Amino acid sequence: MNLVSTKTIAIAIDGPAAAGKSTVAKIVAGKLSYIYIDTGAMYRALTLQAMLEHIPLDDEALLVQLLQRIDIKLKQDKNGQLILVDGTDVTSEIRSQNVTNNVSFVAKHSNIRKEMVNRQQTLAAERGVVMDGRDIGTHVIPDAEVKIFLVATVEERAKRRYEENVKKGFQPNIEELKKEIEQRDFIDSKREAAPLIQAVDAIEIDTTSLSINDVAQRILDRVKEVTHSL
């Protein structure tokens, strides 16, 4: 059931790595019958392809050429969202630790972000979307009716990554995960192109001690407030 009837809006959910953005965004989109757009997956797909083709991640020109010649699609499936690169399903591959550790190096390039933002804005043009990332409320859809910024302690985010990896059959080192998250935070917040910052009109939610469902409900409550005032 669509909780906002015909008053479809755009919802931007931003925040650092492992703050719970994707999980919460999927729940919110499902409750509202909205389309979920995982912008981070688009950068991950490009990162994966660059590594497969042995393209240096610091070579912006070559990365732009790669982005222009590959087709990245987000496809809704009964089991969730699939990520396709030139028709090949890479949904699992883009979540590998190697991609996770390198995606920020690709995402920091200004021309990469410019092209990605153009694609993401096209996806969000008709509203009825929940989009998560790091610059959604500030650059991709700055006119989003609802903007959320999720935060959590480094310790809590590392714990979540640890549990995710264990479920996948890996045995990660939690101290290493903390260092990797801190590095991603530094790269994402210090990059010149669309750095990770909270939009002035975004509502901050600290997810450290909240359940995923609690966070989703807070966002849905905010959506209800906004749509009732339209």
**Whole-number percent of the chain with pLDDT over 70:** 97
DSSP annotation string for 71-132: -EEEEEETTEEEEEETTEE-TTGGGSHHHHHHHHHHHT-HHHHHHHHHHHHHHHTTS-EEEE
Which letter, b or e, does each residue of 14-51 get, where b requires 16 or more Cβ atoms within 10 Å of its Cβ?
Answer: bbbbbbbbbbbbbbbbebbebbbbbbbbbbbbbbbbbb
Q: What is the pLDDT of residues 219-230, one digit of tens each?
A: 999 999 999 888
CB count within 10 Å of CB 228 equals 9
Q: Which residues contact 137 (CB under 8 A, 6 or more apart)?
A: 12, 14, 144, 147, 148, 149, 198, 199, 201, 202
pLDDT score of 6: 52
pLDDT score of 1: 40
Whole-number average pLDDT of the chain: 93
Which of the residues in the chain have pLDDT under 50?
1-5
pLDDT score of 169: 87
- Whether the model clears a pTM of 0.75, i.e. scores above it, the answer is yes
How far is residue 100 from each of residues 52, 128, 184, measured CA to CA in Å? Answer: 14, 29, 9
What domains are defined for the chain? 10-221 (3.40.50.300)
